[in-house]
Structure 1
Amino acid sequence: MRMLMADQCVDWKEDVVTFDNWLKDLKKDAQVFGQLPGFKDGDFKMYQSNAILRHLARNHGLYGKTPVEAAQIDMVNDGVEDLRLKYVRLIYQNYENGKEDYIKALSTELGYFEHILCKNNEGKGFLVGDQISFADYNLVDLLLNHQVLAPDCLSGFPLLSAYVTRITSRPKLEAFLSSDAHKNRPINGNGKQ
């Protein structure tokens, strides 16, 4: 969400809630599923990361040019979320015992995205169509996390590697990613990376 908003020049104010404060927060009942992040635009409030991403995408022209592109973007983003779920399980449930096996299996997972890129303009653009989508921001965010977990994870994937460089080199996004606000934020809540 932050990458999308930074790249699209959307101003936002962030209210960072620590885990302890979240547990103590009496307003927790107001959170639809008892989870963060939340998003507020005027009186409109919503929760769930992917719902927020889709909302932002619709409002900023980042959901494809046709219904077919929108469906493809949804499909790819669901694949990103499948990988994110595996990553989250590793980080929060099995880091010490599972990291090595996870990294070994990562090449299969990354191969899917390499193939998707190859099928769209030979990997020279975006995941779907000829413009950036919310799925691109979501995948790049996850790939940046994986490069911390396993720095060489993209070495066998030239299209993915070039894609991450291309997306993160977009001037507004590059400025955000190099900002202290981004660099000083922990990747995972438990400090594992």
Structure 2
Amino acid sequence: MPEYCITYFNVRGRCEAMRMLMADQGAEWKEEVVTHDMWLKGDLKKDAAFGQLPKFQDGNLTLYQSNAILRHLARNHGLYGKNPLEATLIDMVNDGVEDVRVKYARMIYQNYENGKDDYIKALATELGHFERLLASNKEGKGFMVGDEISFVDYNLLDVLRNHLVLAPDCLSGCPLLSAYVKRVSSRPKLDAFLSSPAHKNRPINGNGKQ
């Protein structure tokens, strides 16, 4: 049986970055899919540390909070930089990814019809920060921090791929990020996952907006 288990709704949402990480690292996991009716019963919410999903199990360890789960997986698989300085920089970039993810989710779930156009207009500035950070590391030809892939690369890749669905031209002013998405997505094990029904048939968001 897989050591890892994700308990979450049938969406990519906050779990796709961890799925991408595990797939790329050759790890196995199982999924416990939560339906709307199951969630409304309240038992899962009552047991959750902060009243929300995802829930992640690593053997006897149960975790909540998606970024904590990503960091746990990063420690398990050597994806947290080569030294404390790189780990700090990875944390910094991941906090920036979280800022974008929260803004995206707020627009998708609370203000899609009225806020989508303004949100897309602001993307040049939002994504431009990551373009500059990427350019500062090996002239943008590798990863966000250091010489090796880290957990933040999976998290950023997921956010960028979601935005390319929302606004296909959103990286037109970010050539390094555009190449980065293609380069990281083409890693053999990750490409196999991204091409699989497990990824392609899972909705990005729970309300059908994208």
TM-score, normalised via structure 1 length: 0.98
Structure 1 unaligned regions, length at least 5: none
Which stretches of structure 1, 4 residues or more, deviate above 4 A after TM superposition? none
Which residue, 55, 65, 86 being the options, matches 2:82?
Answer: 65
| RMSD of Structure 2 on Structure 1 (CA) | 0.8
Which residue, 17, 27, 34 being the options, matches 1:10?
Answer: 27
After TM superposition, give the deviation of residue 155 of structure 1 in Å. Answer: 1.3
Note the 1:1-193 alignment, pairs <5 A.
1-193=18-210
Distance 2:37 2:164 in 1: 29
Residue in 1 that maps onto 2:3: none
The C-alpha deviation readout for 1:6-54, integer Å capped at 9, x for no partner, is 0001100011112332122423211101111111011110100000000
Out of 23-32 and 170-179, give the one that drifted further.
23-32
Tell me the secondary structure at the aligned position of residue 16 of structure 1.
strand
Structure 2 unaligned regions, length at least 5: 1-17
Tell me the secondary structure at the aligned position of residue 126 of structure 1.
coil
Aligned residues: 193
Out of 100-109 and 24-33, give the one that drifted further.
24-33
Distance 2:44 2:168 in 1: 39
Share of identical aligned residues, percent?
A: 75
Distance 1:145 1:67 in 2: 30
Distance 1:111 1:60 in 2: 29
Distance 1:166 1:2 in 2: 18
Structure showing the higher strand proportion among its residues: 2
Amino acid at match of 2:139: E
